[in-house]
Amino acid sequence: MTTRDRKHLLLLAIALMALYIALGGCASEYEWVRAGSPSKAYEWKQVTRDEMFLICATTPAKSPTLGACAYVTPEMCRVHSDRTEWQAKREMSGDGLTLWEHEIKHCEGWWHKPYSRWEAK
Ligand SMILES: [Zn+2]
Protein backbone atom coordinates (compact mmCIF):
# COMPACT_ATOMS: atom_id res chain seq x y z
CA MET A 1 0.00 0.00 0.00
CA THR A 2 1.41 3.37 -0.96
CA THR A 3 1.34 6.45 1.25
CA ARG A 4 -1.21 7.88 -1.15
CA ASP A 5 -3.49 4.87 -0.73
CA ARG A 6 -3.22 5.18 3.03
CA LYS A 7 -4.19 8.84 2.83
CA HIS A 8 -7.24 7.97 0.73
CA LEU A 9 -8.25 5.24 3.15
CA LEU A 10 -7.90 7.65 6.07
CA LEU A 11 -10.01 10.26 4.28
CA LEU A 12 -12.67 7.66 3.53
CA ALA A 13 -12.72 6.57 7.18
CA ILE A 14 -13.11 10.21 8.30
CA ALA A 15 -15.91 10.79 5.79
CA LEU A 16 -17.76 7.67 7.00
CA MET A 17 -17.38 8.72 10.63
CA ALA A 18 -18.67 12.21 9.83
CA LEU A 19 -21.67 10.70 8.04
CA TYR A 20 -22.34 8.40 10.99
CA ILE A 21 -22.25 11.32 13.43
CA ALA A 22 -24.50 13.45 11.18
CA LEU A 23 -27.08 10.67 10.93
CA GLY A 24 -26.99 10.06 14.68
CA GLY A 25 -27.47 13.77 15.35
CA CYS A 26 -30.53 14.14 13.12
CA ALA A 27 -32.20 10.85 13.88
CA SER A 28 -35.30 11.35 15.91
CA GLU A 29 -35.29 8.56 18.44
CA TYR A 30 -38.81 9.16 19.64
CA GLU A 31 -42.23 10.32 18.64
CA TRP A 32 -44.13 13.30 20.06
CA VAL A 33 -47.53 12.45 21.47
CA ARG A 34 -50.23 14.75 22.82
CA ALA A 35 -50.22 14.28 26.60
CA GLY A 36 -52.41 17.09 27.90
CA SER A 37 -53.48 20.67 27.44
CA PRO A 38 -50.96 23.50 27.22
CA SER A 39 -49.83 25.30 30.38
CA LYS A 40 -51.15 28.85 30.77
CA ALA A 41 -47.64 30.15 31.37
CA TYR A 42 -44.06 29.01 31.49
CA GLU A 43 -41.06 29.91 33.55
CA TRP A 44 -37.45 29.24 32.55
CA LYS A 45 -35.40 28.85 35.66
CA GLN A 46 -31.63 28.65 35.41
CA VAL A 47 -30.08 26.53 38.13
CA THR A 48 -26.64 25.06 38.69
CA ARG A 49 -25.81 21.76 37.02
CA ASP A 50 -25.96 19.99 40.41
CA GLU A 51 -29.37 21.51 41.17
CA MET A 52 -30.65 20.53 37.73
CA PHE A 53 -29.77 16.87 38.30
CA LEU A 54 -31.41 17.00 41.71
CA ILE A 55 -34.62 18.66 40.42
CA CYS A 56 -34.77 16.42 37.35
CA ALA A 57 -34.29 13.39 39.62
CA THR A 58 -31.36 11.89 37.79
CA THR A 59 -27.57 11.72 37.87
CA PRO A 60 -24.80 12.64 35.41
CA ALA A 61 -24.11 8.90 35.06
CA LYS A 62 -27.72 8.17 34.03
CA SER A 63 -28.25 11.30 31.89
CA PRO A 64 -24.85 12.60 30.80
CA THR A 65 -26.31 14.96 28.19
CA LEU A 66 -29.14 16.37 30.32
CA GLY A 67 -29.91 19.97 29.34
CA ALA A 68 -33.24 20.64 31.01
CA CYS A 69 -36.43 19.12 32.29
CA ALA A 70 -39.96 20.50 32.36
CA TYR A 71 -42.60 20.07 35.04
CA VAL A 72 -45.92 20.69 33.40
CA THR A 73 -49.16 21.59 35.18
CA PRO A 74 -52.21 23.31 33.63
CA GLU A 75 -51.30 26.57 35.40
CA MET A 76 -47.55 26.68 35.01
CA CYS A 77 -44.78 24.93 33.12
CA ARG A 78 -41.50 25.12 34.99
CA VAL A 79 -38.35 24.42 33.03
CA HIS A 80 -35.17 23.91 34.99
CA SER A 81 -31.91 24.09 33.09
CA ASP A 82 -28.27 24.87 33.67
CA ARG A 83 -28.49 26.95 30.47
CA THR A 84 -29.99 30.40 30.21
CA GLU A 85 -33.07 30.79 28.03
CA TRP A 86 -30.87 32.65 25.53
CA GLN A 87 -28.40 29.75 25.36
CA ALA A 88 -31.20 27.18 25.07
CA LYS A 89 -32.58 29.01 22.03
CA ARG A 90 -29.24 28.50 20.29
CA GLU A 91 -28.49 24.94 21.31
CA MET A 92 -29.91 22.02 19.35
CA SER A 93 -31.45 19.25 21.41
CA GLY A 94 -30.73 16.54 18.85
CA ASP A 95 -34.22 16.16 17.38
CA GLY A 96 -34.19 19.09 14.97
CA LEU A 97 -35.45 21.45 17.67
CA THR A 98 -33.49 23.78 19.87
CA LEU A 99 -33.37 22.89 23.56
CA TRP A 100 -35.81 25.79 24.17
CA GLU A 101 -38.26 24.65 21.46
CA HIS A 102 -38.08 21.12 22.84
CA GLU A 103 -38.96 22.18 26.39
CA ILE A 104 -41.67 24.58 25.22
CA LYS A 105 -43.23 21.73 23.26
CA HIS A 106 -43.59 19.93 26.61
CA CYS A 107 -45.16 23.12 28.05
CA GLU A 108 -47.64 23.02 25.17
CA GLY A 109 -48.83 19.60 26.28
CA TRP A 110 -46.68 17.27 24.19
CA TRP A 111 -44.58 14.40 25.46
CA HIS A 112 -42.37 11.88 23.82
CA LYS A 113 -41.57 8.24 24.23
CA PRO A 114 -38.98 6.92 24.68
CA TYR A 115 -37.44 9.76 26.56
CA SER A 116 -34.89 12.06 25.06
CA ARG A 117 -31.20 11.62 25.76
CA TRP A 118 -31.32 15.26 26.87
CA GLU A 119 -33.75 14.67 29.67
CA ALA A 120 -34.15 12.75 32.82
CA LYS A 121 -37.48 11.24 31.90
ZN1 LIG B 1 -38.36 16.14 26.06
With respect to residue 14, please indicate whether it lies within any of the assigned structural domains: no
Residue 90: domain span: 31-113
With respect to residue 93, please indicate whether it lies within any of the assigned structural domains: yes
The pLDDT-based confidence of 23 (bands split at 50, 70, 90) is very low
Give pLDDT, residue 110: 93
Q: Render pLDDT for 58-108 as a digit per residue (tens, 0 to 9).
A: 999 998 889 999 999 999 999 999 999 999 999 998 888 999 999 999 999
More confident residue, 118 or 60: 60
- 1 Cα–ligand 1 center, Å: 49
- 102 Cα–ligand 1 center, Å: 6
With respect to residue 38, please indicate whether it lies within any of the assigned structural domains: yes
Distances, alpha carbon 42 to alpha carbons 13, 14, 15, 79, in Å:
46, 43, 42, 7
Cβ-based neighbour number of residue 97 at 10 Å: 16
- 25 Cα–ligand 1 center, Å: 15
Residue 18 has pLDDT above 70, yes or no: no
pLDDT above 90 covers what percent of the chain? 54
Q: How many domains, the chain?
A: 1
38-51 in b/e form (b: 16+ CB < 10 A) is bbeebebebbeeee
